[in-house]
Amino acid sequence: MRAVTVQPGVADSLGLVEDQPEPPAEEGPILVEALAVGICGTDHEIIAGEYGEAPPGADRLIIGHESLGRVIEDASGTLQPGDLVAGIVRHPDPVPCLNCAVGEWDMCRNGQYTEHGIKALPGFARDRWRIEPSFAVRLDPALAQLGVLLEPTSVVAKAWDHIERIGHRAEWQPQTVLVTGAGPIGLLAALLGTQRGLSVHVLDRATDGPKPELVAGLGATYHAVPVNDLPFEPDVVVECTGAPTVVLDVMCKAAPNGIVCLAGVSSGGRTIDFDAGALNRELVLENNVVFGSVNANRRHWTMAAQALARADQIWLESLITRRVPVNRYADAYTPGPDDIKVVLEFAS
């Protein structure tokens, strides 16, 4: 069968293997036919040789962590042939740590977790894969074209889950949400904000291309201005750019008792001048919370599946700006100027 692989740590080693062995039985009782794999920034970092780890004893890693497939067979009887399924990316560390021990692998404390297509587990960019029932998430049959968005949605479902847990430290009735960055994560974070009945604002640098229209399609408001020029103080911020100046600006812009969720990863190495004392004063005197959020556990995947099933399917489809057949994989992994989400398609 076919598989898209890299040699981790070696830039531009991306290649399509035509004679990849069938997935071994020890991967799990559920055999899945791949339908689609979504591509994100992590894949580009892996292809650049900056990230990624092959399974023990292998020199190549099958990439792809945003999965959608159809069950061929399930020896455990959990799923039925024909069911739509996505595979959970992260598996708990073997120790396990306090959090992995209770299924909170997204909160792993020792970093020894593994991840399909990223860290020591084969990915989903192959014609067939296997998975354990506890790491398989069944999707509504209506999501045959869109279920590939489940993994990025799980990441924002976790962010919102934690925002709400923090919010309920005191009486809390949030009204306005600011999302910075209108990429797939930002747009899905905005979707989940609108599903909560909140007034959603999305800030991005782009003044044309698909982003303003996608935001308007949610009934949210688009802003292409500096954070400090926004005419309101958000109760909640979901920061998805990782851009250092945006990160600092949103921390100061949040309303009293505001919650700032940092979901974008900065590259580091760039320094900017800022007044740490003034920031501290702002956070303390306004009871603000700034926290980081990454990955998702099974509960969040389930929340994400529900959010996708509730969403406007035409709007979700418009997030997928390119669908590329696997035999043109190199095109799929080459970024385009108006890309939001690019999907590699396996269906023959």
Kindly write out the interface string for residues 43-82 of this chain, putting x where it contacts Zn ion by CB under 5 A and - elsewhere.
----------------------------------------
Assign 323 to helix, strand or coil: strand
236 binds Zn ion (CB under 5 A): no
Minimum Å gap between C-beta 95 and Zn ion is 6
* Alpha-helical regions (H) of the chain: 41-47, 150-167, 184-195, 211-217, 244-253, 276-285, 298-310, 313-319, 329-332
**Angle subtended at Cα 38 by Cα 23 and Cα 49, rounded to the nearest 5 degrees:** 80
107 binds Zn ion (CB under 5 A): no
What H or E segment, with its residue span, contains residue 292? Answer: strand 289-292
Minimum Å gap between C-beta 119 and Zn ion is 13
Closest CA to 64 of 144, 2, 132, 22: 2
What H or E segment, with its residue span, contains residue 35? Answer: strand 30-39
120 binds Zn ion (CB under 5 A): no
**Among 61-69, 100-108, 174-182, 185-193, which window interacts with Zn ion (CB under 5 A)?**
100-108
Minimum Å gap between C-beta 299 and Zn ion is 16
CB of 103 or CB of 133, closer to Zn ion: 103
Give the torsion through C-alpha atoms of 308, 309, 315, 316, to 10 deg: 40
Assign 268 to helix, strand or coil: coil
Q: Which of 97, 125, 198, 203 binds Zn ion (CB under 5 A)?
A: 97
CB of 56 or CB of 111, closer to Zn ion: 111
Residues in the chain: 348
**Among 85-93, 181-189, 192-200, 216-224, which window interacts with Zn ion (CB under 5 A)?**
85-93
CB of 106 or CB of 235, closer to Zn ion: 106
Strands (E), 92-161: 114-116, 120-121, 128-131, 136-139
CB of 63 or CB of 100, closer to Zn ion: 100
**Among 28-36, 90-98, 144-152, 275-283, which window interacts with Zn ion (CB under 5 A)?**
90-98
- How far apart CA 261 and CA 220 sit, in angstroms, is 19
Is the sign of the CA dihedral 330, 334, 336, 342 positive or negative?
positive
DSSP 8-state secondary structure symbol assigned to residue 336: -
100 binds Zn ion (CB under 5 A): yes
Minimum Å gap between C-beta 33 and Zn ion is 31
Q: Do residues 64 and 41 lie in contact, with contact meaning Cβ atoms separated by under 8 Å?
A: no
Minimum Å gap between C-beta 91 and Zn ion is 10
93 binds Zn ion (CB under 5 A): yes
Minimum Å gap between C-beta 46 and Zn ion is 22
Q: Which of 86, 108, 156, 305 binds Zn ion (CB under 5 A)?
A: 108
Minimum Å gap between C-beta 105 and Zn ion is 6
Which residues contact Zn ion by CB under 5 A? Answer: 93, 97, 100, 108
